[in-house]
Amino acid sequence: MQYDATSDIVDVCLQAAISPHMNSPDIPFIYTPPAEPFLDVVHQDEQLLVLNKPCGLLSVPGKAEEHKDCLETRAQSLYPTATTIHRLDMDTSGLLVMAMNKEAHRHVGLQFEKRMTRKTYIARVWGHITEVHGEVDLPLRCDWPNRPKQMVDHELGRSALTRWEVIEREAKTTLVKLMPVTGRSHQLRVHMLAIGHPIVGDRFYAQGEALSFSDRLHLHAQTLELRHPVGGEYNTFTAPCPFLCL
């Protein structure tokens, strides 16, 4: 089982997922994943491989040959037994954990499934959020005519909960910490849009100045907490946010 709060629907929707802008279908898109760093290893032992995925790199390969370069294939070229437990969107950077053996995969996969892991994202959203903290509790489902976009649907959607805290209010934007409780596809992106503050640089959900503000999505998986498959001790991993200095 693969799980994540921002995971792409790769098998069904990859071609749409790597299109340029939802409002610009005629602009051709060429997948050009970053060559460096080839693989940013945060932690590795006999059970776990924790990586810092850059923005612009797929988590798992697509069907087309030109979409084979991804975090999974790069990791397996150096660590052949590594397997993918969860994913991040191509546009999202940050922490992703892989298993080094079947038992570790089962152990960590169950932690994701039972919501025993804790993840913190850093996002820069458009506009000023007036409150200091809050939560978004809105059910989500795939917007099939516009896939892989997701949408709020109170009748057919699956439950989705995101907690957030303001870090800093900037000139035109707000820096926030996002803590997903559930792990729906595009959850953080749609929930921020739903409260009127899309994540800047989001080619699926942002428009106008919010879209043109940056050439990358300002969403980064900064911390990940989980129990180690051997011994059960809580481990906390951290990856610095690359757009905080922008």
Please give the positions annotated as active site: 89
Torsion on CA atoms 67, 120, 76, 68, rounded to nearest 10? 0
Nearest to 59 by CA among 100, 22, 18: 18
Q: Please state the φ and ψ torsions of residue 227, each to the nearest 5 degrees.
A: -85, 135
Give the amino acid at 139.
Answer: P
Q: How far apart are CA 210 and CA 123, in angstroms?
A: 13
Given the DSSP bridges, would you call strands 48-53 and 219-227 parallel, antiparallel or unpaired?
Answer: unpaired
Cβ-count burial of 77 within 10 angstroms (0-12 exposed, 13-18 middle, 19+ buried)? exposed
Give the containing element (helix H, strand E) for 158: none
Q: Which DSSP category does 150 fall into?
A: E
